Structure 1
């Protein structure tokens, strides 16, 4: 069983790779057969690193200068729940909305399950789409 400190290190590493738009680094934190599920994403969950790559390449093309501030974490046996605030810029078409290089900030909720080897085996992400829509109004 992983300790809370070990889970924190792995998730912070994952967020660090995301902040640097490092697709390979992000994928290395996932188990080979990981389930990556951004709830509401049009194509649904991805299965395995190759499918998760498609999501991250699209995400990094649409958002930049990202930073995630964890607000609160809850821990269980090989899982954690992380409530965070994402900050950055929307320069592409994030979530189908014109970014126009505007600043963006929204809440995230991650539910992360870890494998016994410490990799992320299942990642569920809930995004505050209402906040995104308020900040990226379409004209």
Structure 2
């Protein structure tokens, strides 16, 4: 399970949408809580999500802070850092570098990731993207 998560996260950091979904089951449920489009079902829908994400956010690193294990699931808390070249969550990024907490709940079946549930600290993201630009 750890190997699959590490491969998935590494693909996100490389801005590799195809690599991000390579360890998913065909019927993956990809659920970013609060996404207006709701949960995505199947690899094509998840791939479309990651293609859009790669345009909106350039992940630089995810620093794991906590890990919780179950028989067929892992929950991880991370601090995500990256750059917003254009816009993210409907807000202009203008190349800003942001960091925020993120919680992933991964479920596994048949040696693959069958569900990914993602919770973002959206208040922190909004605060950073709407704060006055620093000068000097």
| Shorter-chain TM band | over 0.9
Q: 1:24 aligns with which of 18, 21, 28?
A: 18
* Structure number having the greater strand percentage: 2
Cα distance in 2 between the residues matched to 1:101 and 1:28: 29
Cα distance in 1 between the residues matched to 2:125 and 2:113: 26
- Please state if 1:98 is matched with 2:92: yes
Cα distance in 2 between the residues matched to 1:122 and 1:58: 19
Deviations 1:47-91 (A, max 9, x none): 000001111111100111421111110000110100001001011
Do the aligned residues in 1 keep the contact of 2:12 with 2:59 (CA within 8 Å)? no
Name the Cα RMSD after superposition: 1.2
* Structure number having the greater helix percentage: 1
Other-structure match for 2:77: 83
Other-structure match for 1:127: 120
- 1:9: Cα distance to partner? 1.3
Q: TM (normalized to structure 1)?
A: 0.91
Q: Which runs of 5+ in 2 are unaligned?
A: none
Q: Which runs of 5+ in 1 are unaligned?
A: 1-6
- 1:43: Cα distance to partner? 0.3
Cα distance in 2 between the residues matched to 1:123 and 1:22: 17
The 4+ residue runs of structure 1 with deviation greater than 3 A are none
- 1:138: Cα distance to partner? 7.0
The aligned length equals 132
Q: TM (normalized to structure 2)?
A: 0.93
Do the aligned residues in 2 keep the contact of 1:97 with 1:138 (CA within 8 Å)? no
| Local SS of the residue matching 2:22 | helix
